[in-house]
């Protein structure tokens, strides 16, 4: 389908709801293939259609290297969302986020504060396709993928979001500061509690558990997250 026709599918005439219902009715092959075509809020009722679209997406230069778009794992109605940077090789092969060594460590960290990775959290990434050589995603790639991420956040509707590493923080809140400066501090974004934390890959490279070292700091941060989630859950009953 020509780019102009695709753009029409998302024309705001008739409002976001009209655009969204139109989007649901059309062939997934047809949208959204170009980063000039918006993906308005309300396009997706759930994440299954988004996955189909992401697997056909051509909005940025990561598309040709993709084996599988990586959408998410865990509970799509969880009150905690974890956002990583982008898929690595294992994630690209399996179509699931954080399934390599970083993911195994992430699961252990979650389990240490009694979060079940399958039921208590939803895990995803800033970009859905693998950046070559595991480099960080560029601003252009993050911007092209952002509508999907915003839809994902809207659909899952978490109360708490953990941002793993500087790219994740930059991709969500736009804060460009280094992770060591901002980790462990709650920030409000989109009416949600967000906490920047170290990326598990950084902890794999810095394995010391000594006080003040990255692993020790992560332990402080994840306990603060557990406390916040307990507090929010107790308020909502
Ligand atoms: N690192 C990430 O940021 N995301 C993944 O899915 C895997 C490794």
- Judged on CB neighbours under 10 Å (0-12, 13-18, 19+), 150 is middle
How far apart, in whole angstroms, are the C-alpha atoms of residue 192 and residue 184? 15
CATH homologous superfamily, domain 69-236: Uracil-DNA glycosylase-like domain (3.40.470.10)
Confidence tier at 12 by pLDDT (50, 70, 90): very low
Q: In 10 A of CB 3, how many CB atoms?
A: 12
Structure confidence at residue 11 (pLDDT)? 44
pLDDT digits (tens, 9 = 90+) for 35-75: 877 788 998 999 999 999 999 899 999 999 999 999 999 99
Q: How far is the CA of 134 from the centre of ligand 1 (A)?
A: 9
Task: Indicate which atom in ligand 1 lies nearest the CA of residue 167.
Answer: 3
User: Ligand 1 in contact with 87 (CB < 6 A)?
Assistant: yes
Ligand 1 pocket mutation pick from 103, 149, 170, 203 by most atoms within 8 angstroms of CB: 103
Ligand 1 pocket mutation pick from 71, 96, 97, 129 by most atoms within 8 angstroms of CB: 97
Structure confidence at residue 10 (pLDDT)? 47
Where in the chain are the domains?
Answer: 69-236
Confidence tier at 180 by pLDDT (50, 70, 90): very high
Structure confidence at residue 28 (pLDDT)? 54
Q: What is the mean pLDDT of residues 150-156?
A: 98
The average confidence (pLDDT) of the chain is 90
Of the ranges 41-50, 65-74, 80-89, 113-122, which one carries the lowest mean pLDDT score?
41-50
């Amino acid at each position: 389908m020509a780019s102009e026709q695709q753009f029409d599918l998302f024309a705001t005439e008739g409002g976001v709801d009209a655009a969204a219902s139109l989007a649901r009715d059309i062939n997934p092959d047809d949208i959204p293939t170009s980063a000039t075509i918006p993906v308005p809020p309300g396009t997706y009722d759930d994440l299954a259609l988004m996955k189909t679209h992401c697997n056909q997406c051509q909005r940025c230069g990561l598309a040709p290297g993709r084996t599988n778009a990586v959408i998410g794992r865990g509970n799509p109605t969880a009150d905690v969302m974890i956002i990583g940077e982008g898929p690595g090789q294992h994630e690209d092969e399996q179509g699931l986020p954080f399934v390599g060594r970083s993911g195994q460590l992430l699961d252990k960290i979650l389990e240490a504060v009694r979060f079940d990775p399958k039921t208590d959290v939803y895990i995803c990434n800033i970009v859905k396709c693998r950046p070559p050589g595991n480099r960080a995603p560029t601003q252009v790639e993050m911007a092209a993928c952002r509508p999907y991420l915003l839809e994902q956040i809207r659909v899952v509707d978490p109360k708490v979001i953990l941002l793993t590493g500087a790219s994740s923080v930059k991709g969500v809140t736009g804060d460009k500061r280094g992770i060591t400066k901002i980790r462990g501090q709650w920030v409000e974004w989109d009416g949600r509690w967000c906490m920047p934390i170290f990326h598990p890959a950084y902890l794999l490279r810095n394995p010391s558990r000594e006080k003040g070292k990255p692993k020790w700091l992560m332990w402080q941060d994840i306990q603060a997250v557990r406390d916040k989630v307990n507090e929010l859950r107790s308020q909502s009953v």
